[in-house]
Amino acid sequence: MSAATRTAPAATKAPDTAPRKVRRRNAGLGLVAWLVGIVFVLPVLWMALTSLHSEADAATNPPSLAAPLTLDGYREFFGAGGGPSPWFSLANSMTASVVSTLFVLLLALPAAYALSIRPVKKWTDVLFFFLSTKMLPVVAGLLPIYLFAKSSGTLDNIWLLVVLYTSMNLPIAVWMMQSFLAEVPAALIEAAQIDGARLPVILTRVVAPIAMPGIAATSLICFIFSWNEMLFARVLTGVIAQTAPVFLTGFITSQGLFLAKVCAASLVISLPVLAAGFAAQDKLVQGLSLGAVK
Amino acid sequence: MRAWVTRAPLLPALVFLIIVTQLPMVATLVISVFDWNALYPEARSFAGLANYAEVLGDPELRKSVFTTILLTVTVVLTSLVLGMLLALLLDRRFKGRGAVRTMLIAPFLLVPVAAALLWKHVLYNPEYGLFNGVLHWILGDGATQPDWVAEMPLGAVEASLVWQWTPFMMLILLAGLQSRPMDAVEAAWIDGAGAWQVFRYITLPHLRRYLELGALLGTVYIVQNFDAVFTITSGGLGTANLPYTIYQTFYQGHEYGLASAAGVLVVIGSIIIATLALRVVSSLFREEARS
């Protein structure tokens, strides 16, 4: 299933058929790939280095590579200098991302089941309806949601974001899980039925083990999208329910020399996504391409 | 009765989605025919299609339509081409391929706001940004020190987005390349086909649906981009795209009617794009169902 294991047979075959000229060119092109890779990752590495410099060393031209390292930027970010503490925003982001992901699973799993394992009539139409809601620009529905929040007193309330993030990720989750559940062989389910297994047993013993990696990938992507979201969060939250991305944009305008702190903050806030993404690279692609790339 | 048993699991998701996403759209449609400024709530009145006329006649808004199209097309096409070149490079065997892939994914995993801040302050800043620092290193003290965002505002936004989205395109196309039937490629080698011929007649046709998928998903996300425009230029210097303009019209301008009319027009535009896009997806889907 993973991209890496897929290439293995082709890759080991390559030296047999490819002429030596091709192999030497591969090494040369490998060097090019390394260079491009370094160019792409350099800004992130530079940000990491800057986050470890003092503010004075961070803002020099030409840039200083050898400046002494310090954790001051991180201390500042976590509120050592008397600034606002990011813990509330990080906790809000965690709540919004984790709870909305759980809600998505709760709603999407039965729907995906109805669309793949025991498909309803015209199930492709239903699937397309789900996807079509994702194509409508978020910004076009923002004003009524804002007005609703204002009149119902849910402005600056994290649970409003939980509901919105659930609706934002639900269509993608239904699509992904439909394609993952469709991988469960029908014969397997029938065999279990003949053996007299009831629905709960079939779901937990037959369907769940096969669909689990897909469910994990779906959860990961829902988490990342919720964690990254800023437009809803910016318009609908203020002080109490502020999320991490909003916090990040908040403290840049008010202060003067802030480069190391901004870098530290950006990295800390990106950390959950970076860690999850690196750990599950293949799952991420498969999920983002709505399960179409297998 | 049986039909309802199979349909029941669908209902919670469907009902929830209709309430949370479709109702606001209907409300937007209703608000769009009112003359409604939040600062003068008592002056709210029915305006018919006047808001639409104003939106279409407003040069600023027309410009943001143009900016949205330009931004989306530039970013999607550039990152698609770069992503394909990178995918072709990474499809070969070389030392440290896994490491290079991991390095390339990093930009895509940074939180979008963090990435935008990185470009604006750490790279573009005219006084201590890395770009000008490198120019200083290479050219010495008399080096030119351009103010990147002021001199090429839209280009600055586009460059940061291309940097973020090229890895995504690369990942999708790499997965496409690795599902390519190798026996056809080997047969072509044996028949004496050159690298270009293999690419043109075997690889490219095979990649077509992956290219379409990348373009579709990239378009859906970049048309709606808010973070980069908001952070890097605050919509200034001719970089305001539609999401940013609508955000400003209602959030800072308090022009609810106008913002809604603009929103409805964006939806109409999106429906046109989405209809084309869904056709692409459904063709993809049929192929998948057949295989």
- In this predicted complex, what is the ipTM? 0.85
Q: Is the pLDDT of residue B234 over 70?
A: yes
Q: With bands split at pLDDT 50, 70 and 90, how would you rate the model's confidence at A257?
A: low
Widest pairwise Cα distance in chain A: 75
Mean pLDDT of A170-174: 90
Mean pLDDT of B89-117: 89
Mutate to test the interface with B, among A94, A116, A120, A136 (most CBs of B within 10 A): A136
> Of B98, B109, B224, which is closest to A139 when you measure between CB atoms?
B224
For range A275-294, the mean pLDDT: 72
- Percent of chain A beyond pLDDT 90? 27
Predicted local distance difference test score (pLDDT) of residue A255: 54
Distance from CA of B103 to the nearest CA of A (A): 5
Confidence label for B78 from pLDDT (cuts 50, 70 and 90): very high
**Record: contact A139-B121, CB cut-off 8 A:** no
Q: What is the mean pLDDT of residues A57-73?
A: 80
C-beta atoms of B267 and A140 within 8 A: yes
User: Is residue A292 scored above 70 in pLDDT?
Assistant: no
**Average pLDDT of A63-76?**
82
Q: Are B78 and B214 in contact (CB under 8 A)?
A: no
Given a cut of 90, whether residue B34 has pLDDT beyond it is: no
CB atoms inside a 10 Å sphere around CB B45 = 9
- pLDDT class of A254 with cuts at 50, 70, 90: low
Residue of B12 and A284 predicted with greater confidence: B12
- Residue B255 pairs with which residues in a beta bridge? B37
List the beta bridge partners of residue B46: B34
Instruction: Answer whether A227 sits within 8 Å of B111, measured CB to CB.
Output: yes
Percent of chain A with pLDDT strictly greater than 70: 86
Choice between A255 and A279, residue whose per-residue pLDDT is larger: A279
> Chain B residue with minimal CA distance to A107?
B13
Tell me if B145 sits within 8 A of B126, measured CB to CB. Answer: yes
Q: Model's pTM, two decimal places?
A: 0.86
Which amino acid, residue B264? V
Any idea which of A253-262, B59-68, B270-279, B282-291 has the lowest mean pLDDT?
B282-291
pLDDT at A97: 95
Contacts of A32 in chain B (CB under 8 A): 89
> So what's the pLDDT on residue B289?
57
Portion of chain B with pLDDT greater than 90, in percent:
20
Segment B181-196 mean pLDDT: 82
pLDDT of A185 > 70? The answer is yes
Please give the mean pLDDT across all residues of chain B: 85
**Who has greater pLDDT, B151 or A252?**
B151
| B125-138 mean pLDDT | 85
At B102, list the tokens. Answer: 């991991």
Residues 6 or more apart from A22 whose CB is under 8 A from it?
A: none
> Which chain A residue has the Cα nearest residue B82?
A36
Q: What is the pLDDT of residue A253?
A: 60
Task: Identify the band that residue B284 occupies on the pLDDT scale cut at 50, 70 and 90.
Answer: low
User: Average pLDDT, stretch A50-75?
Assistant: 82
Report how far Cα B24 is from the mean position of its chain's Cα atoms.
Answer: 23
Q: Are the Cβ atoms of B10 and A245 closer than 8 angstroms?
A: no
Distance from A82 to chain B by nearest Cα, in Å?
22
Beta carbons of A248 and B14 less than 8 Å apart: no
Residue of A nearest to B109 (CA): A274
Is the pLDDT reported for residue A6 higher than 70? no
Q: Which of B16, B117, B210 sits opposite A266 (nearest CB)?
A: B117
Contact B107, B162 (CB under 8 A): no
Question: How large is the average pLDDT for residues B81-88?
Answer: 93
Q: Which of A133-142, A176-185, A281-290, B132-141 has the lowest mean pLDDT?
A: A281-290
| Between A28 and A52, the higher pLDDT residue | A52
Per DSSP, what are the bridge partners of residue B45?
B35
B217 CA to chain A: closest CA distance, Å? 8
Assess whether pLDDT exceeds 80 at residue B82.
yes
How far apart are alpha carbons B172 and A3 in whole angstroms? 10
CB distance A147 to A240 below 8 Å: no
Whether pLDDT at B53 is above 80? yes
**pLDDT surpasses 70 at A38:** yes
